[in-house]
Amino acid sequence: MDVQQLQSTAQALVVEGKGILAADESTGTIKKRLDSIGVESTEETRRAYRELLFTTEGAEEFISGVILYDETIRQSASDGTPFPKLLASKGVIPGIKVDTGAKPLALTDGETITEGLDGLRDRLEEYRELGARFAKWRATYSIAHDKPSEYCVWTNAHALARYAALCQEAGLVPIVEPEVLQDGTHTIAESRKATGRVLQAVYTELHDQRLDFRGTLLKPNMVLSGYDASDRASADEVADVTLECLYKHVPAAVPGIVFLSGGQSDEDATAHLNAMNARGPHPWQLSFSYGRALQAPALKAWGGKEESVEAAQRAYYHRAKMNSAARTGMYAPEMERQAVTA
């Protein structure tokens, strides 16, 4: 394992002003996205959609890396250039989702464990040969009166750390993604408690399994009120509570925290990130690793039509630019309206 290379890749992924595009939707998830715009999900439509994103001119000013799915990392642009090579030529670092999804956790009431450790060492070796320089593994936890259970918290933490250790062994930076789901009516205080428990377990396991924290990134949820809560926390409260949680549980040696957007609206995800960075500087870079919150406007603008590719690329470029501004704490909602009227 080349420790310096891992650390420099991790730092490059969270370089100032840039963040990560999560384009690693599984075949089932991307089908739902394409269904929503009336486009049949085929290998070619999925490839064409990803090419639209990856070839957006100037997006590399705001995007440091892209997380790919197994199918996508093997695909090529219409001119025959493999996607990892295309991204690398723009200075964008290719990454890969390596877990095989959340499955029911035995002997629990609806909790999950993320699978994919079997054969992972060999898969990581192949992905590195295909051009990947970092990887991602997501674990999920629900909030309820008895959830997440200690069992769910610690079994997922152990799996995340095993994945991360195998990544570093293979020369790939592991993005560790423990997502406390924000579905439900819970308060921000309940979200804070659950997120803290999860992060404490994750970093205990990462330490015990000999990870070099400087060659890792964390991809957590923001601490929010439940999406169905009657009283939703403001952007300022979200920023304060999320930062308090991170300061308590995330070692300063971690180079960056790349938030997931979850079910937030595009603009909420940007505003919350901005509010946290406006309170900086922090021990870690606070960045983004958004999927839907970067892609939704582009997907809608595209609609599967060749003549709409440019409009879709403009929409994607705009969201990437807004989130880049949020990385410096300089984003303002007026910037959205200015873009519309420009």
Give the 3-state secondary structure of residue 135. strand
242-247 contacts at long range (C-beta below 8 A, 24 or more positions apart): 242/272, 242/276, 243/276, 243/279, 243/282, 244/192, 245/192, 245/195, 245/196, 245/199, 246/199, 246/220, 246/282, 246/284, 247/283
- Catalytic pick from 177, 190, 205, 321? 177
Q: How many residues are there in the chain?
A: 342
Cα–Cα distance, 325 to 337 (Å, whole number): 15
In the DSSP assignment, the letter for residue 254 is S
231: DSSP letter: S
Nearest 10 degrees: CA dihedral of 58, 60, 66, 70?
A: 60
C-alpha 148: how far from chain center: 21
Q: Give the span between the Cα atoms of 14 and 277, in whole angstroms.
A: 13
Phi, psi angles (nearest 5°) of residue 66: -135, 130
16 is catalytic: no
Distance CA 49, CA 145 (A): 41
Backbone angles phi, psi at 95, to 5 degrees: -130, 180
DSSP 216: -
User: Is 177 one of the catalytic residues?
Assistant: yes
DSSP-based helix, strand, coil % in the chain, nearest 5: 50, 15, 35
> Is the preceding omega at residue 84 within 30 degrees of 0, hence cis?
no
The position carrying tokens 């900086």 is: 280
Beta-bridge mates of residue 135: 96, 174
Identify the CA nearest to 324 among candidates 290, 287, 291, 279: 287
Catalytic residues: 177, 219
